[in-house]
Amino acid sequence: MHEFNRGWELQDIHDLLREINRFVAAHKSQMSPHSPHGLSHSSSARNIGRGASHESIDLDGFIALISSEELVEGGGMKTAVRRDCKILREALKAENNYNLYKDDGHFTQGEKIRGPSGKMALMADVLPGIVIVINALVLGISSDVEPSHVVWIVFNYFFLAFYSAEFLIKIALFGWRWFFCGNEWAWNGFDLFCLTLSWVEELITWILTSS
């Protein structure tokens, strides 16, 4: 709360809740008991924990706190009450927004983006890494030993097929949202960029050799 107002004190909350209860009670008394609208839909709710030292509000009071413009802009409310209501409302909104973020720091609307875990995570990290090392060795050897030999061409197609299959499997298992918004989004984007370049290179090579 002090992030929104340095002068906020605990007593301010008690006074604000007391005024909200009066506000809700006044609105209930003005409405017809048969009216289905307004703040009366939870009139059977009780104030829990009310005592001599503190105040509490029921569901009607909470709804009024977060949605009623009269509490913030109404001319019938004290300036201090309007101020405190606005501060508390902004604090609740900030808390709600904070809870919508997960450990990876990405906005997920409260739903965790599931990625590889356990043996699946091990396979997703280790196997592609081994293939990348083999690919690097093949590139190094093929540049010195008969660069145009058919064996290197076969290896090239194998690596391209493997990386393409890896991309499709990740999308099928974990979805687009994890691929582009999960905690490995940077590496996934880099892999997709390299895969796209490889396919473009193969396409250009095929066009040049067939013409």
Which pLDDT tens digit goes with each residue over 55-75?
A: 677 777 778 777 777 777 766
Q: Quick one: pLDDT at residue 125?
A: 77
**pTM of full prediction above 0.85:** no
Q: With contact defined as beta carbons under 8 Å apart, do 189 and 180 qualify? A: yes
Q: Where are the alpha helices (DSSP H) in the chain?
A: 10-30, 59-67, 70-73, 79-99, 119-142, 150-181, 185-210
Task: Return mean pLDDT, the chain.
Answer: 74
List all residues 6 or more positions away from 52 whose beta carbon is below 8 Å from its beta carbon.
none
Q: Tens digit of pLDDT for each residue in 85-138? A: 777 777 777 776 665 554 444 444 445 556 666 677 777 778 888 999 999 999
Beta partners for residue 107, in sequence order: 101
Q: With contact defined as beta carbons under 8 Å apart, do 19 and 77 qualify? A: yes
